[in-house]
Amino acid sequence: MNKIKNNTIETRDRIIVALDYSNMEDAKKMINNLGENASVYKVGLELFLNSEGKMVDYLVEQKKKVFLDLKFHDIPNTAAMASIFASKEKCFMFNVHASGGKKMMQTVAEKVKEINKEVLIIAVTVLTSLSEEEVKETFNSNFTLTELAENWAKLTKEAGLDGIVSSPWEAKSIKEICGKDFKTICPGVRPEWSVANDQKRIMTPKKAILNGCDYLVIGRPITGHAEPKVAFNLILEEIEEALLELN
């Protein structure tokens, strides 16, 4: 049985360090600085394109797990082909846009599971950069942001994907709707000792875990810290405290 999908997540794997760098050299410095401590890294479009995909190879060579954050959104066959590529790259996790539709997500899930049953396939629901007004304008609908996100989470689950990216504030209701094994991947996490930066609806790591987040996507509180390793370990301690409370 797959350990991750069976909900036994290695505690340090719960911190996904966001490599928001434009070049591989800076990213490598951070990976080396964090050393054994960090086990999972997020590579987004900027770094993936800038490194011509080599960032993923480097992380795999270093025995790190990769969350490939490229947010596929296309017709089912094209999205599935890109997803197969992501899975072959030995990614631990990758994502698609739920707004690509249930059929697209189903095709992605079916094709990927044929070649890799371990990889976690995650959907992005409503981009957090969108305001309530923009959502109304874009989708010409009177649904609230939360209603839309919850509906897409339901479709994601029905399509056979493993989880969604959500705000820590929504993690609890997502679990109630989609079940406890449905994974919640949550950015917008800030320890009390760090600054919010441009994140608006933040939550501390401890509260986030208590609120049902499985994985925390954290960038600047670690990568912008004078001592990234110290920051990482403080966050890990908070997560451990929360897990103890949950058990």
What positions carry a catalytic annotation? Answer: 71
What is the nearest approach in angstroms of ligand C5P to the Cβ of residue 73? 14
Residue (44 or 76) nearer to ligand C5P, CB? 44
Residue sitting closest to ligand C5P (CB):
219
Write down the least CB distance from residue 115 to ligand C5P, Å.
Answer: 27
Q: The tokens of 178 are what?
A: 């989609």
Closest separation in Å from C-beta 117 to ligand C5P: 26
In sequence order, what DSSP letters do the residues of 23-88 get, joined into one string?
SHHHHHHHHHHHTTS--EEEEEHHHHHHTTTHHHHHHHHTT-EEEEEEEE-S-HHHHHHHHHHHHH
Contact 111, 84 (CB under 8 A): yes
Closest to ligand C5P by CB, 44 or 163:
44
Minimum CB distance to ligand C5P smaller for 111 or for 152: 152
Q: Which is nearer to ligand C5P, 155 or 218 (CB)?
A: 218
DSSP lists the bridge partners of residue 55 as none
Distance from C-alpha of 118 to C-alpha of 111, rounded to nearest angstrom: 13
Compute CA 126 distance to the chain's CA centroid, rounded to the nearest angstrom: 14
Rounded Cα gap, residues 146 and 170, in angstroms: 8
Nearer to ligand C5P, 188 or 212 (CB): 188
**Interacting residues toward ligand C5P by CB under 6 A:** 18, 20, 44, 128, 165, 187-188, 197, 199, 217-221
The least CB distance from residue 99 to ligand C5P, in Å, is 14
Reduced 3-state DSSP string for 123-169: EECCCCCCCHHHHHHHHCCCCCHHHHHHHHHHHHHHCCCCEEECCCC
- Residues 6 or more apart in contact with residue 63 via CB below 8 angstroms: none
Smallest gap from residue 84 Cβ to ligand C5P (A): 24
